[in-house]
Amino acid sequence: MKIAVIGSGYVGLVTGACFADLGIHVTCIDIDEDKVRRLRQGEVPIYEPGLEALIRPALANGRLHFTSDVHEGVAGREVVFIAVGTPSDEDGSADLRHVLAAARSLAQALDGFTVVVDKSTVPVGTADRVREEIAAVLRRRGVAHEFAVVSNPEFLKEGAAVADFMRPDRIVLGLPGGELGRRAREVMDRLYEPLQRNHQRTIYMDVRSAELTKYAANAMLATRISFMNELANLADAVGADIEAVRLGIGSDSRIGYDFLYAGTGYGGSCFPKDTRAILHTAREHGMELQVIQAVEQVNERQKRVLVRKIVARLGEDLRGRRFALWGLAFKPNTDDMRDAPSRVIIRELLSRGADVTAYDPVASKEAQRVLRQDLADQPGWFERLRFVDTPDAALPGADALVIATEWKIFRSPDFGALRSQLKQPLVFDGRNLYAPQRMRQEGIEYHAIGRPMPRD
């Protein structure tokens, strides 16, 4: 079977590499010729555990190919995935320019019945627009090739995307009606057959329901995070321990433990963008999704929770102080800085006159690029931000340690060395990595999210 994937970003690259590993012949198409050149050499432009280990063998055995030529990539393929970016527009809507451009370009190369799959996260109704764009191009070409537009949203967690693809909870297929839908289902079933050996994972539905399913899933997960963060702030106020509360409610089978960890808010490429997009869709239909509006508002406030704790302890004026910062990426096992809470924390600290020395295992290079842009409006601020190569290198002489990302490398530090290297044994933990009782025993003043220091 031969397929094409338009877009070699996060979703497109993982999709193409995983299908190639399953024995499918995959051509990934990208308009960035420099990226295509590097990918052909096995250079992976994103950090995702296990991805490079799939790409290099697939290149060597010829099952994975990269090109910037859409006609070369699409002609003769049974399935063409659209996996390009859908960034937020100024009004919160998903920007579909790249999706519709991909539809027009692939239509130039269609030469027989083809299943066109929307893999990008797109608003309800996008498949209709994709179908219209393809049909218009085919009319101009004077050909009548049949095609079906299918919605097949991705449910990949950054940092675990390869495992999520290979062992999916579900495969959602939104199919058109009639004979075209029947033929599309047959093709997609053959494509996903290698992932169905253990049990049937496919959930079939209409196209619009599949489009909404993706947004609904991310909105629900974002809601759980913001809900827990609000409870953590209440726990701080009343002297309760949010970790005990998490265990108490998570043990209820109707609730469960996943996505119930308090912290400094969510970030990344999905939750912020997708909550804004579903709110925009609701407004277009004369509705207000009040719960999801609150989720987004809570998350924006939560990104400043550590700074509020720092100010409460050290004062508004932080001139002359320096903070060690552990963690820059929005979550572990990725170098993604999109909507990362660390960006807000750094800007807030610098705005109060502090210096920051930061460490991240993989995201430092991307963080430097992003933060240079973030701070371009404030001359001299970026120069007060320094990046180091080890966690310990950030500590000597710092007034406090701030933890923004829960990398495993941070879980078991040498507390004695940490205590001795800081000016004062003071830690602000935005990911609740340590037990307050342990920190008290280590002689470290510990400020976490919703976790009080034990009383005498």
Query: Is 46 in contact with 335 (CB distance < 8 Å)?
Result: yes
* Cα gap 449→403, rounded to integer Å: 11
pLDDT at 111 over 70: yes
DSSP 453: P
Q: List C-alpha distances in Å: 99 to 104, 106, 141, 346.
A: 9, 11, 20, 34
Report, as an integer, the average pLDDT of 378-385: 96
* Cα gap 257→207, rounded to integer Å: 31
* Cα gap 29→74, rounded to integer Å: 9
Number of other CB atoms surrounding residue 151 within 10 Å:
28
* Cα gap 65→4, rounded to integer Å: 9
Residue 243: the pLDDT is 96
Q: Which of 345, 311, 309 is nearest to 330 (CA)?
A: 345
pLDDT at 455 over 80: no
Report, as an integer, the average pLDDT of 384-411: 97
Residue 449: the pLDDT is 98
Number of other CB atoms surrounding residue 438 within 10 Å:
11
Residue 298: the pLDDT is 98
**In the chain, what are the domain boundaries?**
2-213, 223-447
372 by Cβ neighbours in 10 Å (0-12 / 13-18 / 19+) ranks as: exposed
The pLDDT tens digits for 10-35 are 999 999 999 999 999 999 999 999 99
Give the chain's length.
Answer: 456
Q: Which residues are catalytic?
A: 270
- The fold for domain 223-447 equals Rossmann fold (3.40.50)
Q: What percentage of the chain exceeds 70 in pLDDT?
A: 100
The pLDDT tens digits for 253-311 are 999 999 999 999 999 988 999 999 999 999 999 999 999 999 999 999 999 999 999 99
CATH number of 2-213: 3.40.50.720
The pLDDT tens digits for 175-227 are 999 999 999 999 999 999 999 988 899 999 999 999 999 999 999 999 999 99
Residue 456: the pLDDT is 61
The pLDDT tens digits for 303-318 are 999 999 999 999 999 9
Mean pLDDT computed over every residue of the chain: 96
Residue 88: the pLDDT is 84
Fold identical between 2-213 and 223-447?
Answer: yes
Report, as an integer, the average pLDDT of 109-122: 95
Report, as an integer, the average pLDDT of 62-85: 96
pTM equals 0.93
User: How sure is the predictor about 87, in pLDDT bands with cuts at 50, 70 and 90?
Assistant: confident
pLDDT at 93 over 90: no
2-6: strand order across its sheet: 64-67, 25-29, 2-6, 79-82, 114-118, 147-151, 171-175, 202-206
Residue 426: the pLDDT is 98
